[in-house]
Amino acid sequence: MRSAGGEPTTSRRRLFQIALWACQGALGLLVGVPAVGFLLDPLRRRDLDEPWLSAGAIDRVPEGEPHPLRLESRRRDGYVERSVTSTVWILRDGDRALAFSGACTHLGCNIAWNPSTGEFECPCHGGRFSRAGEVLGGPPRRPLDRFETRTVDGALEIRRIRT
């Protein structure tokens, strides 16, 4: 079709093609932008679980016997950032310290130190762990989760080891 001046006009078919391409482009952006963001997110994200957490003066922890400490950390799960309090068991030897998670590796129940047996015990299903966190009995298949420790200016700092 031609206009009165002899110029070609856009046909209905051409108009629908343009509208279809525009919808496809919008749909592609709608899906593509979040997908690219998802793929690039680990590059720009700072991991909130990694920083060293202060556990206070190392002199506060008694030497020789495991001692529980409650630590508060920040965790991010998707877009939700929350505060998490967890128990960490510290076994101190001078300025060095071993740190274990206070959760049983079977189902995550809180473990407790039994001084009479010299073992960590899980009250839920009878899991038992040595002073070094190794499995002694019960259903747990792996040792207690370990934390990395360091002493800076007399202060004990703890960081979870990724497993």
Model pLDDT for residues 9-19, shown as the tens digit of each residue: 678 888 888 99
Q: How far apart are CA 50 and CA 122, in angstroms?
A: 27
Please give the pLDDT value at position 43.
66
Please give the pLDDT value at position 136.
92
**Tens digit of each residue's pLDDT (9 = 90 or more) over 50-101:** 578 888 888 888 888 888 888 887 777 777 788 878 888 888 887 788 888 8
Least confident window among 23-27, 29-33, 45-49: 45-49
State how beta strands 67-77 and 80-93 pair.
antiparallel
**Cα separations in angstroms, 108 against 92, 124, 156:** 24, 9, 25
What's this model's pTM, rounded to 2 decimal places? 0.63
Q: Token pair of 5, please?
A: 């001046």
3-state DSSP percent of the chain in helix, strand and coil, to 5 = 20, 40, 40
User: Is residue 129 scored above 90 in pLDDT?
Assistant: yes
Q: How far apart are CA 93 and CA 125, in angstroms?
A: 30
Fold type of domain 53-160: Rieske Iron-sulfur Protein (2.102.10)
Please give the pLDDT value at position 61.
83
Q: Token pair of 115, please?
A: 């001084």
Please give the pLDDT value at position 35.
84
Q: How far apart are CA 29 and CA 18, in angstroms?
A: 16
Sign of torsion over alpha carbons 34, 40, 45, 49: positive
Residue whose entry in the numeric block shows the structure tokens 């965790």: 75
